[in-house]
Amino acid sequence: MRLFLALLLVGCWLAGSAHAFETSARAAIVIDNRTGAVLFEKNPDERLPPASMSKLMTAYMIFDRLKGGRLRLDEEITVSERAWKMGGSQMFVEVGERVKVEDLIRGIIIQSGNDACVAMAEAIAGSEEEFAREMTEKGREIGLTASTFANATGLDAPEHLMTVRDLVTLARRIVADFPDYFKYYGEREFEYAGIRQPNRNPLLQAGVPGVDGMKTGFTDSAGYGLVATAKREERRVIAVLAGVDSASKRRAEGERLLEYGFREFQEYALFQPGQPVVDVDVWLGAAPKVPLVTAATVAITLSREARKGLVVKLAYGSPVTAPIVAGQALGRAEVTAPGMNPMSVPLVAANDVARAGVLGRATGALSYLIWGAPAS
C-alpha cells in the first residue's frame, strides 16, 4: 500500500499577525464560540473576585435542574428571611412570599438580585453554603478548573474566585447546554412588585450589533467586570473583562474587545460532515473507489494575515483493501497555520465497500500477476 500526501490548501504566508491590541482591564479574554479559538488574552488564569459575573454559575445550576426535570419554571419558591434581608442589588421580593422560578431567574439575570439568588440556592440545596459547594463541584465537571464559590451572589468572600478563562468557558457552556434558557440574557428589562429595572448589560442597552447577553459585575474589591456575547450572522464571539476602574470604561472596553474579535479574525470552514474530501482507490472491492469524509464540521478561526499561511495536507494509503466499513479511519488531514497549534483530523470511509465477488477477485489476481500486489 502506498502512502499519499496531498496538499489541499496552501498560501504564501506574509510575516505578521493581527495588529497589537491592549486593554486597560486587569484581565481579559476573547474567544470564537464555535471553534474555541482564543483571539486575545491578558492574565487569563489570574484568580480574581468575579462579583456578580459568578451569577452565571448560579443560573447554570438552575438551568441544569430545569433541563433535568428536577425543577419547573412555574414552580413557586418561598422567600426566606435571609434571602429577603440580602443587601446590594435586589429583585425586591418579600419574606414569606411565593415566587415563580421563572420570575426569580429574571430577577437574577436581568436585575442581578442577590435576594433572588439566595432564594433559589436555599430551594435547591437547603442552604446557600451547600449550594456554593455544589457550584464548585459542578464547575469542575464542566471545565472550570480554577474557580471556587463561597456564595450564590458574587459578594466578596476570600474563596469566591474565578479566572476570565473559566468565565468564558462557563458562558460558552450556557450557550451550548441551555439554548431554551439563554434567551433571558437578551431581555432588556424586568418588572417585579411594581419596580421596573433595566438589564445591567451596557452593551445590550446600547444596541451594540449582535449583543444578546450576558452579565456584569461590580464590587469595590473586584472593580467593574463584564461577560458579553454577540452573534453576527452565524458567528458568535464571547468577551470577558475584569478589574476595570469605572462603568464607562467597562462599556467601552467590552465593545472594543468584541469588535476586535469580529474585525480581525474570521472563521474558516474547511470540511463539512459527509462532504467528500478525496476518493481513494479500493483493492479487491465491489466498488473501485471510496470517498473519505470527516465525521463533523471542521472549522478554524484565524487572523486575516494568518489565513495566508493556512496549509492542509491529506495523508492516506492507496489502494485500501476491501472490505471497508463506513466510518473506518483511513487517513487524516493535517492543518497548520501561523499562530495556531497543529490540528490532526481523522478521515473516514463515507460508506461500506464489500469484498469483490469471484470475478472481481479473479480480475484482481490477474492484475497481481501483471503489476504485482500493492505495497504494504
- DSSP labels for 291-341? EEE-SS-EEEEEETTGGGG-EEEEEEEESEESPB-TT-EEEEEEEE-TTS-
8 A C-beta contact, residue 224 and residue 251: no
**Which H or E element spans position 252?**
helix 247-264
CB atoms within 10 A of CB 68: 8
Tell me the three cell numbers of residue 252: 467601552
- Among 257, 214, 259, 200, residue whose Cα is nearest residue 24: 257
User: Cα–Cα distance between 229 and 34 in angstroms, integer?
Assistant: 12
Amino acid at 94: E
CA 368 to chain centre: 52
User: Cα–Cα distance between 121 and 132 in angstroms, integer?
Assistant: 8
- Collapsed DSSP state (helix, strand, coil) of residue 2: strand
Dihedral angle, C-alpha 177, 180, 186, 191, nearest 10 °: -130
Q: Is 106 left (phi over 0), alpha (psi -120 to 50) or beta?
A: alpha
Tell me the three cell numbers of residue 187: 431581555
- Among 229, 192, 3, 173, residue whose Cα is nearest residue 108: 192
CB atoms within 10 A of CB 11: 12
Supply the residues annotated as catalytic: 52, 55, 112
Tell me the three cell numbers of residue 121: 440556592
Amino acid at 112: S
User: Cα–Cα distance between 19 and 180 in angstroms, integer?
Assistant: 38
CA 217 to chain centre: 21
